[in-house]
Amino acid sequence: MSGVLALNRPIASAWRLRLPGPDTFWAAAFALPYAAIFLFFVLYPVIFGFWLGSSPALYTELFSSPLYLTALANTLIFVGIGVNLKMALAFLLSGFFMRKRKWVKALLVIFILPWATPALPAFMSIHWMLNGEWGFLNSVLDALFGIDGPIWLIDRWLALGADLAAYIWKQLPFWTVIFLAGRMSVPRELYEAADVDGATGFRRFVHVTVPLQANLYLVCTLLSTIWTFGDFNTITFISGGGPSMSTEVLATLGIRYAFTMSVPSLGVAAVLSALPLLVPIMVLLMRKLRTSDVQL
Amino acid sequence: MSATISNRRKRSKLYYRVQHYAGEIACLVLGAVLVIWSLMPIYNMWMIALNKHDAIFEGGLWPEDPTLEAFRVVVTQDFWYLAQFWHQFGNSFYVGFMVSFLTLFIGSLASFTVGRLHLKNGWMLTNAALMTYVIPASFLAIPMYRIMQIYGLANNLWSVIATLTTFATPYAIFIFSQYGKSIPMELDESARIDGANPWQIYFRIYLPLMAPALVAVGTYALLLAWNEYLYNFLLLSTPGSMTVAVALAQFLNSDESPWNYMMATAIIYAIPPIVMYYGSRRYMAAGLTMGGVKG
């Protein structure tokens, strides 16, 4: 189980002993395109971003702004609940999709559809579905239960809940499939052995499935946390940050500062202020990805 | 453990049969819930697109008087928001396929050089990719916007192509390095004895054997490009250079917008990636999730 990314260090030092041949030229030439992309489109913007957001005054301004503090709280709620709920559901559902029934396999094809549908059309549809007066959801509530549904998107908490639901709707299938693949890679014999030992049902889940999948689960959760911090589309197209900017998150607020209010440095600062939370996750994740065989 | 087994023995056959059917019914209910959950927004999309404009504001569970009028308007560009629809659709395709192609090309070259040519200090390349992978794309939007102006790429499709390729390539590198390990090194060595240079090995041996991973990552990159809105919106501003994503979002600028046209546009826009995904699903299972894990 040599880590795919770890392979480079030990092997690289072994190869260094060899004389540089014509291969060195080829190896460098093949590495060049990615190195160029990294320099021009990652390193430069990262440094430029740090430079833009380097003034401490920006951060005192941010922390005295109620708008920013609301967005920070929303981000924590959105990421905290969104990622964990989604991952837990995905993990449980992956167990359901392990069933060897024809209809379950057919169901998986339908279940994947939200992920295959581009974000924008899907979120626009959900946005109109939640319209208080003529939205589909309230029509359904009315037809089935005779309830007058709320006007979803004019209340901060309902709007944030709608953002979360749409986020889970869109992302759940992808992670379910990942966990499904993780479960499938476990040899059957292991479960048969557990069965012989009397570990079935819940016991099997706790003592066999969970320990085997724990590492994958951790890596996926960390990765998803980072990506969710940067989620711009869900908030923008479901609640639009409204009502009156009460459901903004850092990713959308940064863009609003930079392009609607034309203070790019403040926008960058809003985004950079998430770094104390993000950096530990990034470091842990890079270490995990480097030393284990988990591939996403 | 022995207690469980003896307990089990005491239970009657009927108990197990009831348990079995209860489990089946629970599964069917879960399945039904999942179908409704997954399809509701998609059904809503169709319902609005097939409705007449006035009928949308009456609510209802299905279109009273379904019509393809909205699709006709989109296809014939018969509305001012949609005046350049096909051109913008072409732009979306151009961006999507360029991002796929460049991601595959650059990613496979990088993974080939690290994994098979044993590039000196190759770990720097993998670490660079890893670092890019853990940066949320939207966090770089503001500096990227400025930098594209410095590069003279403002309002140019290539700015979006470059950005999205940047964010898709690390994933490609990881999948390719993983998949590449299943191709025996002996192939390279025997090709070398036959006088092949690294480019020939890459092009004639490595790439053809990587086909399933290439399909999976290509689809991934296309979906990524099709899902992307922020960079499209920031970097492309004139109707001629817009992609459909930006044009779609323009509908939201006005409260008077015809939502049925918007949804018809959205449906047409959603078709290519869905077809692409389901077409390559077999490979996705082999490539994308291949890894799920191994320990």
Query: pLDDT digits over B105-145, tens only?
Result: 999 999 998 888 877 777 888 888 888 888 888 889 999 99
Give the pLDDT confidence score for residue B289 in this predicted structure.
Answer: 46
Residue-level pLDDT at A293: 54
CA A6 – CA B177 distance, rounded (Å): 11
Helix axes A119-129, B259-279, angle to 10 degrees: 140
User: What confidence tens digit (pLDDT) does each residue in B166-220 have?
Assistant: 999 988 888 888 888 888 888 888 888 888 888 888 888 888 888 888 888 898 8
Look at B292 and A178 and tell me if their CB atoms are within 8 Å.
Answer: yes
The domain of B55 spans: 2-66
The answer on B91 and B49 residing in a single domain is: no
B116 shares its domain with B228: yes
Of the candidates B66, B93, B119, which is a domain's last residue?
A: B66
> If you average pLDDT over every residue of chain B, what do you get?
83
Q: Is B22 within the bounds of a domain?
A: yes
Can you give the pLDDT at residue B123? 81
Q: Looking at the predicted structure, is the pLDDT value of residue B161 above 90? A: yes
- How far does the CA of residue B86 sit from the closest CA of chain A (Å)? 17
Is it the case that residue B160 has pLDDT exceeding 90?
yes
Q: Within this chain, do residues B119 and B218 fall inside the same structural domain, yes or no?
A: yes
Is residue B150 situated within a structural domain? yes
Q: Which residue of B has its CA nearest to A264?
A: B142
Mark whether B115 and B146 lie in a shared domain. Answer: yes
Q: Are residues B42 and B104 in the same domain?
A: no
End-of-domain residue from the set B66, B86, B118:
B66
* Contact B268/A at CB under 8 A: no
Please answer yes or no on whether A296 and B223 come within 8 Å at the CB atom: no
User: How far, in Å, CA of B18 to CA of A123, rounded?
Assistant: 42
Residues in chain B closer than 8 A to A184 (CB atoms): 292
DSSP B82: G
My answer on whether B85 and B150 are in the same domain is yes
Q: What is the band of B295 on the pLDDT scale with cuts at 50, 70, 90? A: very low
This prediction has a pTM of 0.86
Q: How many CB atoms lie within 10 A of CB A16?
A: 11
Instruction: Tell me the pLDDT tens digit for each residue of A235-265.
Output: 999 988 878 888 899 899 999 988 888 888 8
Task: State whether B164 and B197 are in the same domain.
Answer: yes
- Distances in Å between the Cα of A221 and the Cα atoms of B131, B138, B178, B285 are 17, 19, 21, 21
DSSP state for residue B291 in the 8-state scheme: T
Residue B8 in this model has a pLDDT that exceeds 60: no
Confidence of residue B38 (pLDDT cuts 50, 70, 90): very high
Contact state of A110 with B202 under an 8 Å Cβ cutoff: no
Average model confidence (pLDDT) across chain A: 83
**Contact call for B294 and A33, based on CB within 8 A:** no
Number of domains in chain B: 2
Which CATH number goes with the domain that contains B136? 1.10.3720.10
B294 is a domain residue: no
Confidence (pLDDT) at B11:
67
Check whether residue B46 and residue B118 sit in a common domain.
no
Q: Residue A7's pLDDT is what?
A: 42
Of residues B209, A184, B161, A153, the one with CA closest to residue B151: B161
- Name, in order, each residue with C-beta under 8 angstroms of B40's C-beta and a sequence gap of 6 or more: A129, A136, A137
Domain's final residue, options B19, B41, B66: B66
Mean pLDDT computed over B240-258:
82
- Can you tell me whether residue A130 is helix, strand or coil? coil
| 10-residue mean pLDDT series, chain A (296 residues) | 40 46 80 92 92 88 90 93 95 88 87 89 89 79 80 86 94 89 81 79 80 85 90 90 85 89 88 90 83 54
B59 and B80 in a single domain? The answer is: no
Q: Is residue B201 part of a domain?
A: yes
Q: How far is A133 from chain B (nearest CA, A)?
A: 8
Backbone CA torsion sign across A251, A256, A257, A258? positive
Q: What is the pLDDT of residue B67?
A: 79
Looking at the structure, tell me whether residues B147 and B266 fall in a common domain.
yes
Same structural domain, B34 and B110: no
Chain B residues touching A42 at Cβ < 8 A: 128, 131-132, 135, 140, 166
Residues B196 and B110 occupy one common structural domain: yes
Residues of chain A found within 8 Å of residue B125, distances taken between Cβ atoms: 31, 34-35
Residue in chain B lying closest to A33 (CA): B106
Residues whose CB falls within 8 Å of the CB of residue A199, separated by 6 or more in sequence, listed in order: A207, A208
